[in-house]
Homo-oligomer: A and B are copies of this chain.
Amino acid sequence: MPATRQTHATDYYPEPAAANVVRIVPLGGAEEVGRNMFAVEVGATGDILVLDAGFQFVSEEGSPGVDYILPNTRYLEKNQARVRGVIITHGHLDHIGGIPFLLPRFGTPPIYTQRLTSVMIQRRQEEFPDVPKPEMIEVEIGQTVTIGSTRVKFFPVTHSIPDSMGVSIETPQGNVVITGDLKLEHDGTTPSEREQKTWGDLGKDKNIFFIADSTNAERDGFSIPEKRVNDTLENIIQTVKGRLIIGTFASQFERMVRIIQVAEKLGKKVVTEGRSIRNNIEIAQLTGLLKMDKGTIIPAQEIGDYPPDKILILTTGAQGEEFAALMRIATNQHKHITLNSRDTVVLSSSVIPGNENSVQRLKDNLYRHDVTLIHYRSSDVHSTGHGNAGELIWINQQVGATFFMPYYGYHSMLRCHARAAEQAGFPRDHIVIPDNGLVIDVEDGERLNVHKQKVPSSQMIVDGFTIGDIQEVVIRDRQSLAKDGMFVIVVSVNMKTGKLRKSPDIMSRGFIYLRESQGLLNEARLLIKKTVEDSTRNMNPIDLDYVKNNLADAVAGFLFARTNKAPLVLPMVIGM
A540 CB within 8 Å of chain B: no
A513 at the interface (CB under 8 A from B): yes
The one of B356, B366, B479, B486 that contacts A354, using a Cβ cutoff of 8 Å: B356
Q: Which among A59, A486, A565 has the greatest number of chain B C-beta atoms within 10 A?
A: A486
Instruction: Taking A464-B565, A505-B572 as given, write out 15 further A-B residue pairs in contact, using a Cβ cutoff of 8 Å, ordered by the A residue number.
Output: A59-B61, A61-B61, A65-B485, A218-B377, A353-B360, A354-B357, A366-B412, A464-B563, A473-B513, A474-B485, A478-B482, A481-B481, A481-B486, A486-B509, A490-B574
Most buried by B among A360, A464, A516: A464
A505 neighbours in B (Cβ, 8 Å) = 572, 574
- Tell me which residues from 353 to 377 in chain A have a Cβ below 8 Å from any Cβ of chain B: 353-354, 356-357, 360, 363-364, 366-368, 370, 373, 377
Determine the main DSSP class of A at the interface with B.
Answer: mixed
CB neighbours of A484 from chain B (8 A): 65, 464
Instruction: Kindly list chain B residues whose C-beta atoms are within 8 Å of the C-beta of A554.
Output: none
**Closest Cβ neighbor of A6 among chain B residues:** B516
Known contacts: A360-B410, A505-B572. The answer to whether A510 contacts B474 by CB under 8 A is yes
Mask for A79-119, Cβ within 8 A of B = 1, else 0?
Answer: 00000000000000000000000000000000000000000
Copies of the polypeptide in the assembly: 2
CB pair A477–B364 under 8 Å, yes or no, is no
- Docked complex: A187-246 residues within 8 A CB-CB of B: 218
In A1-33, the 8 Å CB interface with B consists of 2, 4, 31
Q: Is A463 an interface residue (CB 8 A)?
A: yes
Contact present for A60 and B482 (CB under 8 Å): yes
A–B Cβ pairs within 8 angstroms, 30 of them? A2-B520, A4-B516, A59-B357, A64-B482, A65-B483, A65-B510, A353-B357, A360-B410, A363-B410, A363-B412, A364-B410, A366-B412, A367-B412, A463-B512, A463-B565, A464-B564, A464-B565, A465-B565, A466-B563, A471-B513, A473-B513, A474-B510, A475-B510, A478-B481, A479-B482, A480-B510, A482-B482, A486-B509, A488-B488, A490-B572
Asked if A511 is at the interface (CB within 8 A of a chain B CB), the reply is yes
* Chain B residue at smallest Cβ distance from A564: B464
> Chain A 394-426, CB within 8 Å of chain B: the 1/0 string?
000000000000000011100100000000000
Given contacts A478-B481, A478-B483, contact A356 B357 (CB under 8 A): no
Name A445-466 residues within 8 Å CB distance of B. Answer: 463-466
Q: Which residue of B lies closest to A415 (CB)?
A: B367
A570 adjacent to B507 (CB under 8 Å): yes
Complex CA gap A60/B60 in Å reads 9
Which 3 A-B residue pairings sit nearest by Cβ, starting from the closest? A482-B482, A464-B564, A353-B356
Residues of B within 8 A of A465 (CB): 562-565
The complex places the Cα of A325 from the Cα of B297 at a distance, in Å, of 56
Whether A411 pairs with B367 at a CB distance below 8 angstroms is: yes
- A370 to chain B: closest residue by CB: B415
Taking a contact as CB atoms under 8 Å apart, the answer to whether A482 and B59 are in contact is no
Residues of B within 8 A of A507 (CB): 488, 570, 572
Measured CB to CB, the nearest residue on chain B to A511 is: B474
- For the complex formed, measure the closest distance between the CB of A532 and the CB atoms of chain B, giving whole angstroms: 16
Instruction: Give a binary string over A498-510; 1 marks a CB under 8 Å from any B CB, 0 the rest.
Output: 0000000101011
Are A65 and B565 in contact (CB-based, < 8 A)?
A: yes
